[in-house]
Amino acid sequence: MGVNRDKPDSWKDDIAKSVDMYNDWFMKFAPKAFRETRISTTTNVEKALNLTSNFMNIEPEILRKHPEILPTLRMATCPPLAADRLCGLAGVSANLVKQMEINKKLPPRMSVAAVNTDLTKIAEVFKRMADMDILVWLSRKNQPVKKTEVHRAATIIADRLCGAITNPIIRNAQEKRQLEAIKTWLEAHGYKLLSTGDRVTFDTMPGGTFFFHMNVPAKLESGTHSVNIPIDVVISPRSEKQKIFPIFFEAKSAGDFTNPNKRRKEEAMKVTQLRNTYGSKVRFNLFLCGYFDCGYLGYEAAEGIDWVWEHRMDDFRKFGI
């Protein structure tokens, strides 16, 4: 008998409540996140403009000294380029671009010659694809650049960068909030949060404890290799009679109905690998907040996956927790 997966008559009502809960959180959090991101992003764009003489001096040496300007350059092209698309177009090292984007530096083990070659290719891509509709001064010769033009371009580029940066910030904040909500509920019901210092694995956790972000080893279909399955929440229920196999939960949130349906097979793949390794005793479930429609819920239910809605957290009790 399931908790929510076998009750389709209540799904639509729960979906509506879950969407309302997510939207209420988003309206309170997203504006603040966007403002904070935009302030820092605009500063970075202005710095890139100053360093490159308003994008009129994009040379390998500039990129070598200031790798942190690469995201700004990607958003100043037409169309704006994703990092992996830049790698493909320029034919450059993905590690080089990754280091410049994330760590704001060049790969320490990459030779000087190889770095120069790749930076030259990146500069050429930008020169060919610079968005002339916003960088209007690049098409003019021997004419001064107007401050209003630069300001307008900086604003547009900052908006593009904010769009790319804000979504991950919101996803991370939502996950953090969900895990905090689970922690609060579990601790209120007598459970103890374990830490990495406790040196426990999922099958050695004492009853009445829980752990965040634990890797659970599982065999691949071949049976000769294994992988670590990352689990958001592992809960070891209290039991006076015998040791009970831990219960797994994935914290899931979504701000639209499209993305969850695109990624719904990920949970099915995880539960299949876990059950192939540990059998029917595996209980893999979801902790949901946001836009999850009947199509998504039906797919997960068909895979034997159950869930707890964040707006009704006392359903944890029905899992024996």
Band of residue 271 on the pLDDT scale cut at 50, 70, 90: very high
| pTM for the full predicted model | 0.72
The H or E element spanning position 219 is: strand 209-219
20-29 tens-digit pLDDT = 999 999 998 8
* Beta strands at 209-219 and 192-193: parallel, antiparallel or unpaired: parallel
Distance CA 291, CA 141 (A): 51
pLDDT of residue 44: 86
Write down the pLDDT at residue 241.
65
* 39: Cα separation from own chain's centroid: 21
Spatial contact of 248 and 236, defined as CB atoms under 8 Å apart: no
Over residues 207-215, mean pLDDT: 95
**pLDDT higher than threshold 80 for residue 221:** no
Closest C-alpha to 219, from 281, 277, 167, 176 = 277
Indicate whether 224 pLDDT > 80: no
Count other C-beta atoms under 10 Å from residue 5's C-beta: 20
Exposed/middle/buried for residue 113 (C-beta within 10 Å: 0-12, 13-18, 19+)? exposed
* Contacts for 158-165: CB closer than 8 Å, 24+ residues apart: 158/38, 158/41, 158/42, 158/45, 159/38, 160/75, 160/80, 161/41, 161/44, 161/45, 161/71, 161/72, 161/75, 162/34, 162/37, 162/38, 162/41, 164/71, 164/75, 165/37, 165/41
Residue 167's pLDDT is: 78
Strand order in the sheet with 247-254: 192-193, 209-219, 226-236, 247-254, 283-290, 306-309
pLDDT the model gives residue 173? 87
Whole-angstrom distance, CA of residue 175 vs CA of residue 25: 12
- pLDDT bucket at 180, cuts 50 / 70 / 90: very high
- Gap between the Cα atoms of 24 and 93, Å rounded: 43
Compute the chain's Rg from CA coordinates.
Answer: 25
pLDDT at 240: 61
